[in-house]
A and B are shown apart, each in its own frame.
Chain A
Amino acid sequence: MTAPGRPDPDALLARVVEEESRARRGRLKLFFGAAPGVGKTYTMLEAARAAKAEGVDVVAGVVETHRRAETQRLLDGLEVLPRRTVEYHGTTLAEFDLDGALARRPGLILVDELAHTNAPGSRHAKRWQDVEELLGAGISVYTTLNVQHIESLNDVVAQITGVVVRETVPDAVFERADEVELVDISAEVLLERLREGKVYVPEQAARALEQFFREGNLIALRELALRRTAERVEAQMQGYRAAHGIDRTWPTAERLLVCIGPNPASARLIRSGRRMAAALHADWIVLHVESSRQRLSASDRDALGVNLRLAEQLGARTATISADDVAAEILSYARSQNVSRILAGKPTHGRWRDRLVGSLLDRLIRGSRELDVYVITGEVDEGRPAAARREPPPVPAGAFLRTAAVVAAAGALGLGLRSWVNVTDIAMLFLLAVMVSAAWDGARPAILASVLAIALFDFVFVPPYYTFAVADASYVVTFMVMLVVALSISRLAARIRGQADAAREREQHTAALYALSRRLADARNASDLAEAVSGQVHETFDAPATVLLPDDAGGFAALAGGPATPGAAAQGVARWVLEHGQPAGIGTDTLPGADALYLPITSSGHALGVLRVECRDARWARDPIERQLLEAIADQAGIAFERAALAARSEQEQMATQAERLRTSLLSSLSHDLRTPLAGIEGAASALKDGAEGLSPDARAVLAQTILEEARRMMRLVSNLLEMVRVESGALQVQQEWQSVEEVIGVALLRLEERLRAHPIHTEVPADLPLVPMDGLLVEQALVNLLENAAKYSPEGATIEVTAALDAGQLVIGIADRGPGVSPGEEERIFEKFYRSTVYEQVGGAGLGLTIVRAIALAHGGRVWVEARAGGGSVFRLALPLGGTPPSLPVEDDDADDASPQPERSRAQS
């Protein structure tokens, strides 16, 4: 733990990181006021002119002068960025041109009215998001803001003034601003200004603003603005103290849990939670527990989504859980998260419900034990749209008919059994019918069934028969009981169905994620992964999906589903998503007019790609449950892609390491092979030089021989290496001529005369072999290598056989030895570069000879291979294509020219 007085290292690090990122960001100065008309724009312009006078590059991005002469005068002399015109529903709007500002890149830009909502078609939904982007690009911004625009104060202001302001700015923006200047005037002065007509009042809102501009309101607003500014100063003070190791006055380990529902009153709850969390310097979590008894309708889901997004904007962590017992679930979650306080809303329904079904709040409080429970008022603000009534899923008309049929069937059965059974048993039959109907068709048909059952029971089975009258009053009790039972059954059945539905949906989501993870595990490369992801998304959501990965050219390549190259618009959105790591498109706050929903695929904090999902409408994209699943899929995809990338990199590095290792071992073996003969030569030569007198002629001869042999050995090695280099560099040129194989063999044998002394050579070359097109020198080199090989591995005195023969359009030269032979399975490997027999390490050579032979064979269009030999040893065969008929010879007469009296020898070949 940190010692008291020492700053917390994590906090310090966070500060350093923040300061670093601040250094790159532009600086944001907020001109803050309690109400419109206090003079924020005016003050901002004054400050801007002062900055300009100091040499700062100032541009007015968007400044609302409201046609006031004094403000307009201040604007003169400042460069004004042209607005962007947007057509919207027949009207032309002049919006702030974000791209123009980014392109212009001034040192300081003026952006009035931070809370403004941008026209549809703009990149961001809100102007404060535009400002964020400007700051991120390193441009400093001056802007104006009223206290009622701050998110967490929005409801308080609404309470004070009775006017709900819809355009809000998240608290984080206010808090992260580098400077906040409070433009403060007293309420009287402001009212005076209003009277003098110096305050801008849009005509439509005139009446509302009359209510707004009451003195009491203005005083309250002023206090609010002052207090908020003071809080900011306090926070700065805290930061200062933390950085300098001064003890915090109230260290706290509190954590808050705010329980919300789709009810708009929850928004207020969330804001209260935020204020409390801020005051306590505590983390806070916003939780929604969906009861499986009461499934949410689509509009409820939307409202819940709105609330959850609000919570996130205000800085909370959010969670959505589904459970049977809501209270128990809340408590268990709270405990698992080490929550210290729970905030819940006051009940808005009547007390009779609590009596009947039990109060959630009650259970919560009773189960809270060590946790504090705060119950906050949840009155609905008038300005907000009323919560939609919960719409149960529509019931097909056929269900009702079926219900009626079931009841009728029960009635018929009862009629049939009338004689044998009691009337109470008939009642049971009807209850059975109700239960069946509830199980099949749900709550409302079951209610219908209950009513029908009782009616039918009364009509047919209760005296007087076939009327609705009742003779015996006790039957009324029966009816009551039956009704209650029937209704309970319907409710139970409905609840079970609801649970089943919830479980099924959960199971579907889990199954989808599981299926995805299995598909991802199978995928081998990036495109397989992309296929798996887009396939899964398509299956689960019935929405075509594409995975977009950045390619080297700075664009995007679609890896699965959809066209290979996405359109320019899609590329633009994808680029934004990739850079900011935030979702964009339908259902989000950024580029909501795009053609699809774009989610970032991230891993380890940075975005790897983009998942593009074509959704049917914005509502589906906003549904928190669906979004959660989509984001979970995107997360899995991110992990899988990163894993694939890492695997590829690891493989590359492995190969590089292996290549490196091979090179090193090669280098060391070559170095050894070159140094050894040199050492021998040097030794022998120096012995000859220095010990000349003491050496006998024989000794001298031996030394000289050593030098000669070692020099020749080196020569061979060097030749092979050079030949290899030629082969590798593609410089192996075959100069074809009609050659005699006999001659080439002869030359090779002559070259190796000394080396082959220990081995008798036997040749079998037919005399009638045709001339073969080949490069004589290359083939001779190949034969030399093969013969050397044979000599190396043959025992002394063993014969080496050299043959040449025609075989199926090829000329095959064979070199056979009685050496150890080639191990089975190695027949191909021996031709590889630098391959040396593992069994015979002491045999020298770089392992290149056979490789060169193969290269020469291939260059001629032939081949070389090795066969095992009966009786031990191997036969290497070099095959060269015949290449057609050799050119003809001139005819000559065959006169005997010999003057010798000896009988003629025929020209027949032996």
Chain B
Amino acid sequence: MTEPRPVVLLIEDEPQMRRFLRAALEPHGYHLVEAETAREGMGQAAAHNPEVVLLDLGLPDLDGLEVTRRIREWSLVPIIVLSARGQESDKVAALDAGADDYLTKPFTVPELLARMRVALRHAAQRDGGSDEPAFAVGDLQVDLALRQVSMRGEAVHLTPTEYKLLAVMVRHAGRVLTHRQLLKEVWGINAIQHPHYLRVYMGQLRQKLEREPARPEYLLTELGVGYRLRAE
């Protein structure tokens, strides 16, 4: 039985980039639909109803942020934004506007594939309605139903806030979460002006869970953007 190939909509104006992505994704079973401009892209999105959208932030006709907003008006399709290094604020804005993840150019194929997998999985989970209570990655195990966290088999005691923070990350495992998203979910909307809360609590989580807190394996920092819990 051959599964239908997932449709990926690529909205990217640079031909070399499209060539590269085509070469990277098609061998892995993705069906690529390409668009060169934002308007063309949105048209294609409506026409093909893709599983994932890869959106370049530096499009000629419309801002990537605007594209994200417009797509989000009528679809929950996972959007991964592609942007250059040093434009963190653009990425954060896109993420806060509804994009699911981002990739910083230049990125490798494994990175790309990993993000796509995460995005697809979360979409499937959401659509499928199943919310797996048990999560495991490497030596870390989290049971959301039992509210249990263990590392290398040993239970770890977390404060309520720490647990809440970890839970949010587990629910979005593999995806980046912006400071704003995390602060809002854990401390409430008024907390979004206090990113230092996050820093401290993430630090505490790392101390409790990571073997070498200064070289985390699971709780990854995305400087200028947010945090990500490794999923695989």
Contact = CB atoms under 8 A, between A and B. Distances in A.
Interface of A: 711, 715, 737-740, 742-747, 749-750, 761, 763, 765, 767, 771, 776-777, 780, 802, 886-887, 889-890, 892-900, 902, 904-905, 907, 909-910
B159 A907 contact: yes
A28 to B, nearest CB: 77
A900 B213 CA distance: 24
B224 interface: yes
Contacts of B106: 711, 715
Given A895-B160, A905-B155, 17 more contacts: A742-B206, A743-B199, A743-B203, A746-B220, A767-B203, A767-B213, A771-B196, A780-B223, A886-B196, A889-B200, A890-B197, A897-B158, A898-B147, A899-B148, A900-B155, A904-B157, A910-B207
Interface residues of B, number: 38
Contact of B148 (A780, A894, A900): A900
Contacts of B212: 763
Given A892-B159, A905-B156, A737 B207 contact: no
A777 B88 contact: yes
B223 A767 contact: no
Contacts of B196: 738, 771, 886-887, 889
B206 A744 contact: no
28 contacts: A715-B106, A737-B195, A740-B202, A742-B203, A742-B213, A743-B202, A746-B220, A746-B221, A747-B221, A749-B214, A750-B215, A765-B213, A767-B207, A776-B223, A776-B224, A802-B214, A887-B194, A889-B200, A892-B159, A895-B160, A897-B147, A897-B157, A897-B160, A898-B158, A900-B148, A900-B150, A900-B157, A909-B207
Nearest to A708: B108
B223 A744 contact: yes
Residue with the greatest number of chain A CB neighbours at <10 A, chosen from B86, B150, B199, B223 = B223
Interface string B127-146: 00000000000000000001
Contacts of A743: 199, 202-203, 221, 223
A537 to B, nearest CB: 66
Consensus secondary structure, chain A interface: loop
B75 interface: no
B216 interface: yes
B139 to A, nearest CB: 16
B159 A897 contact: yes
B163 interface: yes
A631 to B, nearest CB: 69
B162 to A, nearest CB: 9
B161 interface: yes
Q: Which 10 A-B pairs have the closest CB atoms?
A: A763-B214, A900-B155, A765-B214, A743-B221, A905-B157, A738-B196, A902-B155, A740-B199, A776-B223, A747-B223
Consensus secondary structure, chain B interface: mixed
A896 B224 contact: no
Contacts of B187: 890
A893 B164 CA distance: 13
A679 to B, nearest CB: 20
Given A777-B88, A898-B155, A899-B146, A742 B214 contact: yes
A441 to B, nearest CB: 97
A910 B150 CA distance: 17
Interface string B74-85: 000000000000
A910 B206 CA distance: 12
A484 B107 CA distance: 121
A898 B150 CA distance: 10
B187 to A, nearest CB: 7
Residue with the greatest number of chain A CB neighbours at <10 A, chosen from B106, B197, B208, B214 = B214
Nearest to A743: B221
A213 to B, nearest CB: 103
Contacts of A763: 212, 214-215
A703 to B, nearest CB: 16
Nearest to A906: B157
Residue with the greatest number of chain A CB neighbours at <10 A, chosen from B106, B197, B199 = B199
A898 B157 contact: yes
Contact of A777 (B155, B199, B202, B224): B224
Contacts of B159: 892, 894-895, 897, 907
Nearest to A901: B155
Contacts of A905: 155-157, 208
Nearest to A896: B157
A887 B221 CA distance: 21
A744 B202 CA distance: 13
Contacts of B147: 897-899
A771 B200 contact: yes
Interface in B164-204: 187, 194-197, 199-200, 202-203
A196 to B, nearest CB: 104
Contacts of B208: 905
A332 B126 CA distance: 121
Contacts of B86: 777
A777 B148 contact: no
Nearest to B146: A899
A715 B106 CA distance: 9
Contacts of A765: 213-214
A737 B221 CA distance: 15
A893 B162 CA distance: 12
Contacts of B199: 738-740, 743, 771
Contacts of B220: 746, 750
Nearest to B197: A889
B29 to A, nearest CB: 21
A423 to B, nearest CB: 121
Nearest to A803: B214
B86 to A, nearest CB: 7
Residue with the greatest number of chain A CB neighbours at <10 A, chosen from B163, B202, B213 = B213
Contacts of B157: 896-898, 900, 904-905, 907
Nearest to B108: A708
A510 B163 CA distance: 98
A752 to B, nearest CB: 11
Contacts of A761: 215
B214 A898 contact: no
A904 B159 CA distance: 11
Contacts of B146: 899
A896 B162 CA distance: 11
A51 B164 CA distance: 109
Contacts of A907: 157, 159
A902 to B, nearest CB: 5
Interface string B207-232: 11000111110001101100000000
A746 B215 contact: yes
Contacts of B160: 892-893, 895, 897
Nearest to B154: A902
Contacts of A802: 214
A750 B95 CA distance: 22
Contacts of B158: 897-898
Nearest to B210: A746
Nearest to A909: B207
Contacts of A767: 203, 207, 213
A666 to B, nearest CB: 25
A227 B88 CA distance: 100
A892 B191 CA distance: 14
A904 to B, nearest CB: 6
A738 B88 CA distance: 17
A892 B161 contact: yes
A711 B16 CA distance: 15
A750 B199 CA distance: 18
A744 B147 CA distance: 30
A782 to B, nearest CB: 13
B223 A898 contact: no
A312 B159 CA distance: 109
A743 B203 CA distance: 8
A737 B223 CA distance: 11
Contacts of A711: 106
A910 B207 CA distance: 8
A74 to B, nearest CB: 86
